[in-house]
Amino acid sequence: MLTLEGKVAIVTGGTRGIGKAIVKTFVNLGAKVALNYRKSSKEAEELMNQYNKDEKKIIAFQADVANFNQAQEFVKKVIDEWGKVDILVTNAGINWDGVIWKMTEEQWDRVIEVDLKGTFNYIRAVAPYMREKKYGRIITITSINGLRGKFGQTNYSAAKGGVIGLTKAAAKDLGKYGITVNSVAPGFILTEMGESMPEEFKQLAINESALKKAGKPEDVANLVSFLASDLAGHITGEVIKVDGGQYI
Catalytic residues: 156
Q: Would you list the DSSP string of 194-225?
A: HHTS-HHHHHHHHHHSSS-S-B-HHHHHHHHH
Q: For residues 127 and 119, is the Cβ–Cβ distance under 8 A?
A: no
Residues 6+ apart with CB under 8 A from 223: 184, 240, 242
42 CB neighbour count, 10 Å cutoff: 9
- The closest alpha carbon to 112, from 157, 64, 62, belongs to 157
